[in-house]
Amino acid sequence: MLVLCIGDLHIPSKAIKLPEAFKKPLSPGKLHHVISTGNLTNLATHDMLRDLASNNLLGVAGEFDDLEFPSKLVENLGGIRVGITHGHRVIPRGNIDALAALTRRWDVDILVVGGMPEFAIHQIDGRFIICPGSATGIAMPPYTAARPSFAVLDLQLDRFGVYHYSVDDSGALSVNKESYLLHEEEEEDKEGQLAEGEERMLEDEEDDDDDEANL
């Protein structure tokens, strides 16, 4: 399942349009869902994103949106729980500990958050926080301007891939891919518990052997 994560466009208030290099990857018919992290700021941008995935637009409101979006969403996408929020209500903005607390409170596997101009991904306690950045690269105090970027998630039950699209100063498109396992921390915990159980069994067997030797 391919899910576009995009936001903080601020068109036309702070940016005129999306970079030309984004036109081809952001063409209709490729995506199953579009996640908007907010600050679309106008209906035309909303409609453009909606049409990329046959009306499957999941959007939240940024602090500059007049569009009627909720402040948060939690969706089940292909068996993966995904939380969405713009993040301007997180204080201080972008604080990873506060965002990690949201992943636990909402019980989501992935939290997609806006409000920061640079792409970032963090893994904490088996859960993931993904910021697609600003698709127009505008400055968002206290953050300065960054390369325009968005992300596409390839969700596959127990794992997912992240395609990070960005445009450099010359207007050239760059695409990087990373892959992650979901619930990896939980599996490690289970393996640790099994190992501890095996150790206890070995200790019990050693005790039994000692008892037999003393008979």
Tokens 């604080």: give the residue: 95
| Cβ proximity of 72 and 83 under 8 Å | yes
Instruction: Kindly report, residue by residue over 75-109, the tens digit of the pLDDT.
Output: 999 999 999 999 888 888 889 999 999 999 999 99
Q: How confident is the model at residue 164 (pLDDT cuts 50, 70, 90)?
A: very high
Average per-residue pLDDT in the chain?
A: 87
89 vs 14: which has the higher pLDDT? 14
Does the pLDDT at position 52 exceed 70? Answer: yes
| Cβ proximity of 127 and 110 under 8 Å | yes
Closest CA relative to residue 21, chosen from 166, 176, 119: 166
Cis upstream peptide for 70 (omega within 30°): no
pLDDT on residue 214: 44
pLDDT on residue 88: 85
Stretch 187-214: mean pLDDT, rounded?
49
125-146 burial, b for 16+ CB within 10 Å, e for fewer? ebbbbbbbbbbbbbebeebeeb
State the Cα–Cα distance between residues 198 and 212, nearest whole angstrom: 21
Q: How confident is the model at residue 157 (pLDDT cuts 50, 70, 90)?
A: confident
pLDDT on residue 207: 53
Q: Which CATH architecture has domain 2-182?
A: 4-Layer Sandwich (3.60)
Q: Which amino acid is at 212?
A: E
Does the pLDDT at position 188 exceed 70? Answer: no
The structural domains of the chain, with segments of one domain joined by +, span: 2-182, 184-215
Rg (CA), the chain: 22
| Cβ proximity of 114 and 7 under 8 Å | yes
Q: How confident is the model at residue 183 (pLDDT cuts 50, 70, 90)?
A: confident
Q: How confident is the model at residue 196 (pLDDT cuts 50, 70, 90)?
A: low
Instruction: Kindly report, residue by residue over 119-153, the tens digit of the pLDDT.
Output: 999 999 999 999 999 999 999 888 899 999 999 99
In 40-185, at which residue ranges do the beta strands (DSSP E only) sit?
A: 57-59, 72-77, 80-85, 110-113, 120-124, 127-131, 149-156, 159-167, 173-181
Does the pLDDT at position 9 exceed 50? Answer: yes
* β pairing state of 80-85 and 72-77: antiparallel
Instruction: Provide the 3-class DSSP secondary structure of residue 34.
Output: strand
pLDDT on residue 89: 82
Stretch 149-166: mean pLDDT, rounded?
96
Does the pLDDT at position 21 exceed 70? Answer: yes
